[in-house]
Chains A and B, each alone.
Chain A
Amino acid sequence: MERLLTKLKSIEPNKEFKERSRALILNSPQSGISIGIFNRLLNSAQFSAAFSLAAIFIFLIIGGLSMLSQRILSPALLSSLDPENLTEEAASLDFQIQLSQAEYYEESAEKVEIALNETSGELKNLENREEELNKLLNEITL
């Protein structure tokens, strides 16, 4: 069992997920900065309570929005808007395979008919008949 468990070491996160997640996280602000300012504002409350409260309110909103945007920008959400995922999905719906298979039967019908025409001598007969018709037409018009 221990040996089996160690096989799970091979589990690795998807490379694209890693790149996206890393980029999103490192491009987001550290809320520590806004919290530091929040603390300073609290300390300055004695000088202007109204201003501090408004500022705190604004920072809470910004901080909240920042958290919200990070949640919204989580890789799982964005996978639905990932061009590569969508291309893969389109490929998996195999539009072209459906169309190609339909075209095959049309092509087969045509090619087999030509082959059977040749095999039955019909092609030769048709050519001969056309030749005869041309001769007759020529005689009439001359």
Chain B
Amino acid sequence: MLEGEKNHIKQAKRGNKEAFGLLYDHYLPKIYRFVLLKVSSRAEAEDLTHEVFLSAWQNIHNYKDRGHPFSSWLYQIAKNSVIDFYRTSKKNLQVESVSEEFVKIDALHPESLNTDLEIEKLKRLIGLLKPDYQDVLIMKFIEDLSAEEIAANLDKSEGAVRLIQHRALKELKSLYYGDPNNNGTLTHEA
């Protein structure tokens, strides 16, 4: 959570741009990562992320602190944006079709080559998982949220979050280390 977040939100609701700007700066990387790992294309992730924050800015007067963190409101907007995106574009996500433009492999440092390839592979595979699985894995391992926070963000119980986490990791491992029945093609379920 951003320091002084409650005050920033209050100010932003009154139309204070600087206050919203601080919220934007803090949450942009998280929302961007969240969206990118779901849509796998940088251009689309940028577009959707922009829409998320635009929507947040224009609707923040509707935001009420009901005990859930501000981030959960943003994640909800992001999830809805991704659902809309898939509904309108009807994408079949294939491993081969993912853009590699945002992965710059440093040819002068071979040791980074393996890391970059690993990251690229992971990105693609996460994009193949069910939305719930993606959400939990991203929030847990990439954004370092606790089970309690994840549960609040996703409107689930902590127990449900832990179960999803366990299943998601299992499926991701099987994709990553090679499941002969998995040909890398999955119709994304919005």
A residues with CB within 8 A of B: 1-2, 4-14, 17-18, 21-22, 24-26, 28, 30-33, 35-36, 67, 70-71, 74-76, 79
Closest Cβ of chain B: how far from A102's Cβ, in Å? 28
- Closest Cβ of chain B to A92, distance in Å, is 12
17 CB < 8 A contacts A-B: A1-B169, A5-B122, A7-B122, A8-B33, A8-B122, A11-B29, A11-B33, A11-B123, A13-B49, A17-B50, A21-B28, A22-B24, A28-B57, A30-B61, A67-B58, A76-B43, A79-B43
Contact A5 B29 (CB under 8 A): no
Q: Which of B45-77 contact A (CB under 8 A)?
A: 46-47, 49-51, 53-54, 57-62
In the complex, the answer to whether B24 meets A13 with C-beta atoms within 8 Å is: no
B82 at the interface (CB under 8 A from A): no
Asked, given contacts A12-B29, A30-B61, whether A74 binds B42 with beta carbons under 8 Å apart, the answer is: no
Given contacts A5-B141, A30-B60, contact A17 B24 (CB under 8 A): no
- The residue of chain A having its C-beta at the shortest distance from the C-beta of B15 within the complex is A30
**Set of chain B residues within 8 Å of A67, measured between Cβ atoms:** 58
Q: Check A26 against B28 for contact (C-beta < 8 Å).
A: no
Chain A contact residues: helix, strand, loop or mixed: helix
**B44 at interface (Cβ–Cβ under 8 A)?**
yes
Q: Which of B136-165 contact A (CB under 8 A)?
A: 137-138, 141-142
Count of chain B residues with a beta carbon within 8 Å of a chain A beta carbon = 44
Which of B32, B60, B61, B141 is the one whose CB lies under 8 Å from A13? B32
| Residue pair B173, A1 in contact (C-beta under 8 Å) | yes
Return the chain B residue nearest A35 by Cβ. Answer: B61
Nearest A residue (CB) for B176: A1
Among all A-B residue pairs, the 5 with the closest Cβ atoms: A32-B61, A5-B141, A76-B47, A13-B32, A26-B17
A131 to B141, CA, bound (A): 87
Is the beta-carbon distance between A21 and B119 smaller than 8 angstroms?
no
Closest Cβ neighbor of A7 among chain B residues: B119
Q: Which residues of B contact A13 (CB under 8 A)?
A: 28-29, 32, 46, 49
CB-based contact A8/B21 at 8 Å:
no
CB < 8 Å neighbour of B46 from A17, A22, A31, A70? A17
Contacts known (A26-B20, A30-B57); A74 close to B141, Cβ less than 8 A: no
Shortest B88–chain A CB gap in Å is 13
Given contacts A13-B29, A28-B54, contact A76 B122 (CB under 8 A): no
**Residue A5 contacts which of B13, B17, B20, B142 (CB distance < 8 angstroms)?**
B142
B-side contacts of A1, CB under 8 Å: 169, 172-173, 176
Residues of A within 8 A of B54 (CB): 24-25, 28, 70
Q: Are B49 and A21 in contact (CB under 8 A)?
A: yes
Taking CB atoms, residues of chain A closer than 8 Å to B59 are: 31-32
Q: How far is the CB of B143 from chain A (nearest CB, A)?
A: 8
